[in-house]
Amino acid sequence: MKSNDPKHIAVSKNRHKNRCLSCGTSENMYRRRYCSIECRQRLRYNLNMRTGLLCALNTKYATFYFTEFIIILDVLPYGSGELFSFIFPRTTGKKPAEDFCTLSNILGNAWWAERRRTNKRYLASQHILQKANSKHVDPKSIKPIEIKEPVRTAKSLTFLKLSKMDLNSPELRQIIKKAYWKQAKRHHPDQGGDATVFRKLHEAYQQLNQWAENPVFISRRGFPDKWFYYGSSNKWIQPAPIKLNL
């Protein structure tokens, strides 16, 4: 979800730094996207524990991301042509997950207060959306990236020293066969190779041939640098690595 707001531009500049997508630290990150599995799970847990407000706002898509100074929650309600951005200052010494909980609690309490005052859910939701920065957008322009990945082929590709790019080739069967024979010559027991490795090579060969006959993909939606909420599943999804769509 894009914006010309100066604070959003600051986010774009900050993306070039290799920081943990869950807590923002840059220490010992190298090429990693998260400083630890626990850190990633902690943020996702906190996001998923506070989806009630998004449901109340009839959210189709939402994204959560942050800089050193602010956190941003973008919300696109179903049937709306407006994107609503809630921008909240970071608290010194606290992680983005904690600031998100604070923001959610503030907005949630405000929603319930208006709900009790008016006895109308939609008025309470409108009251909360009015607190956000909003702009008109084309809903199609902020759809998340859809990533298609081959099902259960990763290990087989590794065994035969192939890449996902090879799966796009019209000569896939010949590529699989050639790769198999090349590795089989190296690992065949009669040539001093390991019998277990050779067996796994043969299983990989069979699996890729079956996949070539009936390609099966799994689709994932998301953004490369934002946590993504999909209203239909009522769940948050971690930032999706940028990969080639197959």
Please give the Cα distance from 135 to 11 (Å, whole number). 18
CB atoms within 10 A of CB 8: 19
Quick one: average pLDDT of 64-83? 94
On average, the pLDDT of the chain sits at 86
* Burial status of residue 13 (CB atoms within 10 A of its CB: 0-12, 13-18, 19 or more): exposed
0.85 exceeded by pTM: no
The domains found in the chain, sorted by start residue, are: 6-144+221-237 (no CATH), 152-215 (1.10.287.110)
pLDDT classification of 177: cutoffs 50, 70, 90: very high
Alpha carbon 62 to chain centroid, angstroms = 12
pLDDT at 153: 85
Residues 6+ apart with CB under 8 A from 104: 50, 53
Q: Across 26-30, 136-140, 195-199, which has the greatest mean pLDDT?
A: 195-199
pLDDT of 146 > 80? The answer is no
Position with higher pLDDT, 196 vs 89: 89
Radius of gyration of the chain measured on its C-alpha atoms: 23
* Burial status of residue 177 (CB atoms within 10 A of its CB: 0-12, 13-18, 19 or more): middle
CB atoms within 10 A of CB 43: 24
pLDDT classification of 82: cutoffs 50, 70, 90: very high
pLDDT classification of 1: cutoffs 50, 70, 90: low
Helix (H, G, I), strand (E, B) or coil at 66: strand
